[in-house]
């Protein structure tokens, strides 16, 4: 996932504070503070100085700063070494760098449309659900 500076449509710069709804057709980089709702059809980058409190829906997400909230990504999530996160991640692919601090649940689909639990259980050979007690 390579997102160059030229491909970023909007920026919330360092020292800036934004509260509210931010829906964008392009990509967004946050180096300031954001609290509210974000939805983008492209990439969302939280820079090292970025502090974000929201649930994110995006094509790709890179977290180098701090995020409190859940991520749902179409393609990929990358947590860089300076990244700090509290929340759940659902994505086809996840990259974690050394140094990341995170707490939450992850669901990695590998690009499959089928329920992840069913994929794993079928791969194991049709076991009973692990959630049930016999």
DSSP SS3 for 63:
strand
pTM: 0.83
How many CA atoms are closer than 13 Å to the CA of 12, on its beta-carbon side?
24
Is the sign of the CA dihedral 32, 29, 61, 25 positive or negative? Answer: positive
Whether the Cβ atoms of residue 73 and residue 87 lie closer than 8 Å to each other: no
pLDDT tens for residues 65-113? Answer: 999 999 999 999 999 999 999 999 999 999 999 999 999 999 998 888 8
Domain boundaries, the chain: 6-122
């Amino acid at each position: 996932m390579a997102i160059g500076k030229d491909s970023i449509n909007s920026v919330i710069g360092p020292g800036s504070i934004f509260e509210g709804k931010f829906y964008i057709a392009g990509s967004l980089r946050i180096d300031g503070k954001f609290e509210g709702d974000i939805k983008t059809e492209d990439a969302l980058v939280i820079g090292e100085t970025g502090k974000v409190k929201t649930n994110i829906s995006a094509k790709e997400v890179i977290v180098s700063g701090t995020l409190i909230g859940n991520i749902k990504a179409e393609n990929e999530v990358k947590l860089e070494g300076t990244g700090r996160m509290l929340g759940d991640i659902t994505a086809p692919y996840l990259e974690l760098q050394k140094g990341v601090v995170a707490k939450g649940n992850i669901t990695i689909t590998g690009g499959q449309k089928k329920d992840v639990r069913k994929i794993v259980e079928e791969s194991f050979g049709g076991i009973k659900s692990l959630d049930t007690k016999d």
